[in-house]
Structure 1
């Protein structure tokens, strides 16, 4: 109860003092030109400290009195008088020739009279030079203060804090050589200055001016690996806006996928029994796999760079597909198809022979010998003294009277699908 009584007494005293100047609320008259500024002392203070206003010069010679008002959040729109209609002669002259005007009460007192409790933001003092009985201003001096909390003020504009955020496109990762767009967003958007884009501690490009709260930089120079990207805002006027930096942005640049240097091609003699090679080259590959195709379909088990052609491939179209891979991805190259030609002739490795009793009336049997690769079928031509015996085309032949005293041979033709035919002739036998 005692505290409330003291507050009521203080408020009553303040109202009484201001009333003595005939102006409790309201301005000192019509607005006039600002003829100077004021210095607020102390430069930083509290809501319960006294304030001294020192004008930058003297009032005009015709002025005999002053009124001081304060405007800001909580006070009436027209301002609240903090110095009544006081004679200029009661104030000391400052070294600069201006007046030293101490405010009798504190900002907390003035707020209590105005009926609010929270002091915040900017408050403007206006000292109006005038005559005692004419409210017309003969010139004004002004000074602002800023409450940075409910209890503390400063006589310079507080620096507006900024925040900077960084985004990248594509987001989080890109392939080597991709144009990466870095966008810094600075708040408040009215902040003026530049942004430096950093890769670790290395600056990317040159600082970029902020426009409408954003600054962008596009670069294709990020090396393969993991990067820590930042955006640092530097204000043009550090007294107005503070500097800020974004949180680190982790960004990964991947190696390019393998690129085809020389397209796949089947090389070598493309015929049965030959080995062909999938000739191809890539850049940026860590491994390469191969597949062979027959008439467009994958040949099971054929995964080497080389492929031995068999009779199964004969007259079919063969192609190869090479797939190169690295940590980013894979790239494939498929060769044109080529038709597999017939293989070489079967080779006789054990000479054929004629078995049996070599006399008229006895069956002669042709033994084909051995062939490489092995034959799957044979054909026979019997000859007498080198001349073909009509109709004698089987593996056996019965000697006739016409053969007595003559020499018989058999020419054997070995056959296998996909290979050229091989021929061999037996040694002759004389028929008795």
Structure 2
């Protein structure tokens, strides 16, 4: 961009990235991926500084040109802003409700600030008015009332939109029955904004339609197409009396999507702590374009367990685990199916390597020392071996060395067991040759 400057003038360059041009409005097709902080140019390279800290650019001669490069700090990714509206009337004492519209992506935290607008005072915040609703009083008489909706999400630049209603104190028209949407919400059908009779005579209504929060047309009716499957269709009707009083009402319907023929998933893997389970989704018709997963311990969703696989944790021991699979595809209603639960998840013992105490000599007694196994409460069984071959009947903690053992090496194999755990076995080192 360029600016014309007169000799003898001094400039400071400041920029703002607070302007949002939605893709659906007029010629606005600019939807940047990121937004930038507001601030001013600094010759030292610190773009984004306050006005008081910005660098001067002075012009002394006709034809002088100054080129600067400005790189503003990134504030975050760009939110998709909703189109807010104030639902309610201009009657004094009416309760107004901020309808924020549809913000995204994902979950956006919204906050509200209410204002008055007047020619004399401009825009002034109403003290303490930070809820989604506000009840007007005589203090707002003759002024417009507006609400500022601010969206926040971690990693995204904070954004704000305003809307207003008024002036307050003008009598709004009444309707004998509330605004509704009539007709079948299905492709090829026509929806109609319906309401009761307006009073007083001469009152009018102006209706605007939205699809998933985005403006989609004006008028009393709305034609549903296949592109609207799974969408929420909203109508906002502004009723206006001849005296200027207004009432804004909204109504919504959802257009159903096509239906999947889903499959019930199964879980592959062994229900033992440390083992990995895998969700087998089966065959869906048609094939979803996206599949999401949520693993459960009993009936409780496991935090962060949203992948196709899940590695069993110590917290899963004693529970049964299952997975819910959700399929999505454009034009189809999402569908979810849950697997059968696994067997009760078993824990894994932490074993110790046993040792053999005693002298490897015929007639002497050898004793198996199991060491420290975890957790406590483990029961043990024993099997003694001669040169790697199990000795018949030698299944006690101790073993009396027999004549048949002379010249051989002995060792013991210890097996630990505990309810709810997978049994583990460990073998000792071999003794010296029996003498």
TM class, shorter-length = 0.3 to 0.5
Higher strand content, 1 or 2: 1
Larger Rg over CA atoms: 1
